[in-house]
Amino acid sequence: MAKIFLFIILLFLSACNIFSPEYDNFENILPQGNSSTIDGLMKNFVHSYTFKDSFLYEEILDEDFVFEYDNEGVYESWTKDEDILITKRMFRNFKKIDLVFNSVFPIGTSMQDTTVYSSFVIGFYSGDVNLNLTGYSKFIFKKYTEDDKIRYTIKYWGDLR
């Protein structure tokens, strides 16, 4: 699985066009949730992949975001800026992306940081390549409270194989 994941990353890094969402092709398409709940944040995560919306994706990641994965026994990671660059290229290189998390995410929590484990199924589709993967992830959500309003971001995303 790590080799497939690394292959996908290398494929994305070969692209050089910056993604711009094409909402003109859709009517009344709005994100399904909002960042005032963890569940809403994750609905927006799925929405960003489904509609290849890198602007929405960027909003859900914390400034201190880290993505980590196991590359054949060696843990490697990257930051928010690197993740956004890779994700934009991924969105550009696939015609369709389907993402389903097999978890119920909490509405909220009293803790500053909340950890949730989830399995997922993701499908990448282009003219010649159709790739379906399953896996497990660890997410750490960070809670912000400003003017009595709560907002969550994804602080950590770990691919657990």
Task: Tell me the per-residue pLDDT of 32-45, one tens digit each, with 9 for 90 and over.
Answer: 578 899 999 999 99
> What's the number of domains the chain is made of?
1
| Domain contains 24 | no
Position 34 scores a pLDDT of 83
| Domain contains 59 | yes
Query: How far apart, in whole angstroms, are the C-alpha atoms of residue 145 and residue 112?
Result: 9
Q: How many residues are recorded in the chain?
A: 161
Query: How far apart, in whole angstroms, are the C-alpha atoms of residue 133 and residue 119?
Result: 11
Residue 131: which residues within 8 A CB-CB, separation 6 or more?
Answer: 4, 8, 123, 124, 125
Task: Tell me the per-residue pLDDT of 74-111, one tens digit each, with 9 for 90 and over.
Answer: 999 999 999 999 999 999 999 999 999 998 888 888 88
| Domain contains 27 | no
Query: How far apart, in whole angstroms, are the C-alpha atoms of residue 156 and residue 141?
Result: 7
What is the CATH number for 94? 3.10.450.50
Query: How far apart, in whole angstroms, are the C-alpha atoms of residue 37 and residue 108?
Result: 5
